């Protein structure tokens, strides 16, 4: 997909710049040519020598370079690329882009380009939520800039935690591949896809709840991949810390019953992918006030079964999607349990994975899945969740267009 593609990589000044060395390597592995522009601040974190060694290209740093500018180099750089990637996109660089400043090579090239721009923001959490940054983000998105991240996590600064970490190299790579996939062939254009994602929280009292360890990364990646393939996508999401996929309508819910209602409200669709890890049970009578410890010991919780969203939609008489895909998160005999679940629920496909703690899949960035269909079982190789999502979406597109499952 990236073979022969030309990427102009504008690197801003932040500690996350070191991640770009891995991003460049991954792009090169896939056949892309990467031309780097380093801002003055970026050179405090990575050197032109290291970037040039990995890209195999000249590193551009100076707007007034006599050699590069004899033929208006900043215009040539911005126009010869197939895609411009800004990573890390610092608050300063984003502000320049939002307001049309052009006082160095990177900002000038960005103002002069007529090509699509993908941006990976990276900054301190308080900078990310500052009203000025929020205004700039809104303006950039209105201008058609696509963003990947930022993610939540620990910062370089001591004891700082929150949203502001630059997306990981494989996430940025997935967004780049998605861009070119859409440009090549919008596989799901004209289709409507529903995806569920994340956990549900079932209240015990106003403070406590029953939940699971689902991060929502896989479900959100599927929604993003379906949108990138041209579909109209509705994402029904439980409580997660993953950023909303661009261009996707997100319906946020807390409980399984709320998720069930949101799913039914958004039917009909051509395909539904139930990636959410819905709690099987809830407390029959959640306490209205916080339950206190007392000499009587732990309270007895009477659990009742939650609605079965996958089975309900699979057996819907009038609004059943043409393709219903469920997920099976197992810790033993994964394929056998998935095959039984497919038969029991009445869905078309099951995507099964082993979520035992040793795998690191639950909450991690990679996945190893088995696709269970009427035709049999496919064992897919380990891949990032973005790659799994794109593969699954390609299979969904083939099925909806009449291809083999």
Q: CATH 3.40.50.1950 occupies which residues in the chain?
A: 6-181
CATH assignment of 186-400? 3.40.50.10300
CATH for 6-181, options being 1.10.287.10, 3.40.50.1950, 1.10.3720.10, 3.40.630.30: 3.40.50.1950
What's the confidence (pLDDT) of residue 182? 64
Instruction: Determine if residue 114 is labeled as part of a ligand binding site.
Output: no
Instruction: Determine if residue 327 is labeled as part of a ligand binding site.
Output: yes
Residues of the chain with pLDDT under 70: 1, 65-74, 157-158, 181-186, 295-296, 362-363, 403-405
Q: Which pair of structure tokens corresponds to residue 186?
A: 């919008």
Q: What is the DSSP letter of 277?
A: B
What is the rounded distance in angstroms from the CA atom of residue 338 to the CA atom of residue 336?
Answer: 5
* Number of Cβ within a 10 Å radius of residue 129: 13
Q: Is 151 a catalytic residue?
A: no
Question: Could you tell me which residues are beta bridge partners of residue 326?
Answer: 274, 350
Q: What is the pLDDT of residues 364-398, one digit of tens each?
A: 777 889 999 999 999 988 888 888 898 899 899 98
List Cα–Cα distances, 197 to 103, 214, 236, 242, 388, in angstroms. Answer: 43, 9, 6, 10, 15
What's the confidence (pLDDT) of residue 262? 97
Instruction: Determine if residue 5 is labeled as part of a ligand binding site.
Output: no
Instruction: Determine if residue 310 is labeled as part of a ligand binding site.
Output: yes
Q: CATH 3.40.50.10300 occupies which residues in the chain?
A: 186-400
Burial group, residue 148, by CB count within 10 angstroms (0-12, 13-18, 19+): buried
List Cα–Cα distances, 296 to 246, 293, 301, 321, in angstroms. Answer: 51, 8, 14, 50
Instruction: Determine if residue 290 is labeled as part of a ligand binding site.
Output: yes
Instruction: Determine if residue 309 is labeled as part of a ligand binding site.
Output: yes
User: Nearest to residue 40, comparing CAs of 12, 69, 10, 78?
Assistant: 12
- The answer to whether 146 and 175 are in contact (CB under 8 A) is yes
What's the confidence (pLDDT) of residue 162? 80
What is this structure's pTM?
0.59
Q: What is the DSSP string of 51-115?
A: HHHHH-SPPB--TT-TTGGGG-HHHHHHHH-SEEEEEEE-HHHHHHHHHT--SSHHHHHHHH--S
- Residue 301's SS3 state is coil
Question: Which residue in 136, 212, 266, 353 is the catalytic one?
Answer: 212
What's the confidence (pLDDT) of residue 405? 39
Q: Which pair of structure tokens corresponds to residue 167?
A: 């997306």
Angle, CA of 195, 266 and 220, to the nearest 5°: 20
CA dihedral 225, 230, 232, 237 (to 10 degrees): 10
- The answer to whether 313 and 272 are in contact (CB under 8 A) is yes
Instruction: Determine if residue 121 is labeled as part of a ligand binding site.
Output: no
The whole-angstrom distance between residue 121's C-alpha and the CA centroid of its chain comes to: 14
């Amino acid at each position: 997909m990236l073979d022969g593609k030309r990427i102009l990589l504008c690197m801003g000044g932040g500690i996350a710049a070191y991640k770009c060395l891995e991003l460049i390597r991954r792009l090169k592995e896939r056949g892309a040519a990467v031309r780097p522009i380093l801002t003055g601040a970026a050179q405090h974190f990575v050197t032109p020598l290291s970037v040039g060694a990995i890209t195999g290209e000249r590193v551009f740093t100076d707007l007034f370079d006599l050699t590069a500018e004899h033929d208006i180099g900043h215009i040539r750089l911005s126009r010869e690329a197939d895609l411009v990637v800004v990573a890390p996109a610092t608050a300063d660089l984003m502000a320049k882009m939002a307001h049309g400043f052009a006082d160095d090579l990177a900002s000038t090239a960005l103002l002069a380009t007529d090509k699509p721009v993908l941006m990976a923001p990276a900054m301190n959490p308080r900078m990310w939520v500052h009203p000025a940054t929020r205004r700039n983000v809104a303006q950039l998105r209105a201008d058609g800039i696509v963003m990947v991240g930022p993610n939540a996590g620990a910062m370089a600064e001591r004891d700082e935690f929150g949203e502001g970490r630059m997306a990981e190299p494989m996430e940025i790579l997935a967004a780049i591949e998605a861009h070119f996939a859409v440009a090549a062939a919008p596989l799901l254009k004209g289709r409507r896809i529903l995806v569920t994602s994340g956990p549900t929280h079932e209240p015990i009292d106003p403070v406590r709840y029953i939940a699971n360890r689902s991060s929502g990364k896989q479900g959100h990646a599927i929604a993003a991949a379906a949108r990138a393939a041209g579909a109209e996508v509705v994402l029904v999401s439980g409580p997660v810390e993953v950023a909303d996929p661009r261009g996707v309508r997100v319906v946020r819910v807390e409980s399984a019953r709320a998720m069930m209602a949101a799913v039914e409200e958004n039917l009909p669709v051509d395909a539904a992918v139930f990636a959410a890890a819905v709690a099987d049970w809830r407390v029959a009578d959640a306490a209205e006030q916080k339950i206190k410890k007392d000499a009587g010991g732990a309270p007895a919780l009477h659990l009742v079964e939650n609605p079965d969203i996958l089975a309900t939609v699979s057996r819907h008489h009038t609004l059943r999607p043409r393709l219903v895909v469920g997920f099976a998160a197992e810790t033993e005999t994964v394929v056998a349990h998935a095959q039984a679940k497919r038969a029991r629920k009445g869905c078309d496909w099951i995507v099964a994975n082993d979520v035992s703690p040793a795998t690191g899949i639950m909450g991690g960035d990679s996945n190893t899945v088995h696709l269970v269909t009427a035709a049999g079982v496919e064992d897919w190789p380990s891949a990032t969740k973005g790659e799994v999502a794109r593969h699954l979406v390609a299979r969904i597109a083939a099925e909806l267009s009449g291809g083999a499952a």
